Amino acid sequence: MAIHKLANGPLTITVVGVEQTEGQFGPQVLFTGDDGTMVYVSLSSATSQLDRAKLTFETAVGQRLHFEQVKKDGKTFTNINRVTGGAPLAPAASAAPARATAPSTLSFDEIVALYANCVNAAIVHFGARIEEAGITPDAASIQAAAATMFIKATR
């Protein structure tokens, strides 16, 4: 899986995973795309930008998002926008090449990697949410959540 640095240019991905991590520069959010591309955004930027787009870490999964850095008054800002309608945005030159996401165009290894990302996202996000509600997650509920994300990502 390729890590895309926004300093190298913008990136548009269909998000299959969102995970808060601790990075070299403090708390960060890891966004994983359906093509395996990963991009890290500071927690404060990710939270404010997702809030502006009326998304949460959970609802960003399955969304097509455009990430970019802009410079203004000597400062660098990260923008995250939903991609809706119109012509698709061009991927960054350093990003993995775009490809169709229909299951028939994916190799077996790509399908396995995508589903593994969906299972991980289901455990991290769905499992944590229902545990907070006092419900013990079971394998069937995790599998259903992962399958839902996988289907959404491959259509």
pLDDT tens digit string along 74-100? 999 999 999 975 444 444 333 344 443
* Between 69 and 97, residue with greater pLDDT: 69
Question: Encoding tokens for residue 53?
Answer: 């787009």
What pLDDT, on a 0 to 100 scale, did the predictor assign at position 104?
Answer: 55
* Between 11 and 149, residue with greater pLDDT: 11
Mean pLDDT across 22-47: 92
* Between 5 and 108, residue with greater pLDDT: 5
- Is 10 within 8 Å of 20 (Cβ atoms)? no
Burial status of residue 96 (CB atoms within 10 A of its CB: 0-12, 13-18, 19 or more):
middle
CB count within 10 Å of CB 55 equals: 19
In 3-state terms, what secondary structure has residue 43? helix
Give the pLDDT band (50/70/90) at residue 39.
Answer: very high
Q: Is the pTM value of this prediction over 0.85? A: no
Backbone angles phi, psi at 136, to 5 degrees: -85, 120
Annotated domain spans of the chain: 6-82, 103-154
Which residues is 23 bridged to in the sheet?
26
Whether pLDDT at 55 is above 70: yes
Mean pLDDT of the chain: 81
